Chain A
């Protein structure tokens, strides 16, 4: 195999131009924490490595009239230290807290996490909770894609080889309870087996007034579970209610994936993790 050629366009326009002509032969590299594994093992069968890690167009976190915009090139460390995300997308910020080790967080980008289309991409549940859309561009057009549609199957991205994710546009939610939880082999480094994120708000009477919930990792693509929203909204969260909701969630997971050998472990684990995550809202 011929040696891989490294290219670093100076701006997004040049990068999109390059991909328009050579997309099929090109692998985009941002933080490299997924791509470098393949570069090192020789599994990468592309001619070009296109470095987008320094592109200003992909950086920055801001709240504007489009919504809460998070650049595809924003690193997990930047997410972790963002005050804007603390007050407008706490579940995403909490995701960064248990994402790999610090060295990885310093390089890994949110765009790379989503584009890699791993079912265990940790940023997906929180993005889904915030009804995030990815702004995706090629040389000739841009479009907004809901994050749940960024992967068609596990590890199969819906991006064309000519496209780059520019940013994610989230619906901001303030002043509520938010969390991200995952189960993996070891908290920091393992890939998640089960992951979930939530945002919830209670009214003055202590009932759940607003809830968004998403499940990741144990299904091939992330799911925003409107069923949980319907089941819990308007109710007073008690231990029993949350437990029941967790059971419902586990059933839904089985509906999506079918019964597998791992179901016997995942079914109670999902219910338990849901209970643990939502316990703080029990009055």
Chain B
């Protein structure tokens, strides 16, 4: 067993985990944060995307022990007390969500993108979403949602 300490969605955690556990298992099974999904489990679908120190990563391919000392945000950490984050609002209003299975991962990819590039172009959005599979929307509404999210965030609809 390994001891890890990290911050997730603003809260400090100290856990004792199995050495070979994935970050995804830590988040879903130990912390019961089930917003993060497991799709393929082998790095291809992006449903398990979380932000670690501001970067989008596949939690299914990250060793849980490697969470030690990091700052993590999952989909549960996007919304502020006073309401949904701009990226969430934009996805709802622009039909970026259908079945919703890919959505938590996509939101976390987009969240990292907007922190890095506040006003991304089509190519940047496309490069970001290449690691997130969506079987429902055909992506067009997702592109619209991301552009709208950037606009909302730029207007100062900020969140914690």
Contact = CB atoms under 8 A, between A and B. Distances in A.
A40 B41 contact: yes
Contacts of B58: 103-104, 107
Contacts of B55: 77, 106
B42 A5 contact: no
B44 A189 contact: yes
Interface in A1-56: 3-6, 8, 29, 32-33, 36-37, 39-40, 49, 51, 53
Contacts of A101: 46, 130-132
Most chain A beta-carbon contacts within 10 A, residue among B41, B109, B131: B131
B18 A188 contact: no
Contacts of A39: 20, 22, 63
Interface in A91-117: 100-104, 106-107
Most chain B CB neighbours (cut-off 10 Å) among A5, A36, A51, A189: A36
A188 B130 CA distance: 7
Contacts of B20: 3-4, 6, 39, 49
A51 B65 contact: yes
Given A32-B63, A102-B56, A103-B57, A37 B42 contact: yes
Contact of A102 (B2, B61, B109): B109
Contact of B66 (A51, A100, A106): A51
A101 B132 CA distance: 8
Interface in A201-256: none
Interface string B61-84: 111011010000000000000000
Contacts of B44: 189
Given A3-B18, A49-B20, A33 B65 contact: no
Contacts of B42: 37, 40
Contacts of B35: none
B39 interface: no
Contacts of B62: 32, 36, 107
B49 interface: yes
A5 B19 contact: yes
A38 to B, nearest CB: 10
Given A6-B19, A103-B57, 17 more contacts: A3-B18, A3-B19, A8-B65, A32-B61, A33-B43, A36-B60, A37-B61, A40-B41, A49-B20, A49-B63, A101-B130, A101-B132, A102-B109, A102-B130, A106-B55, A106-B57, A107-B57
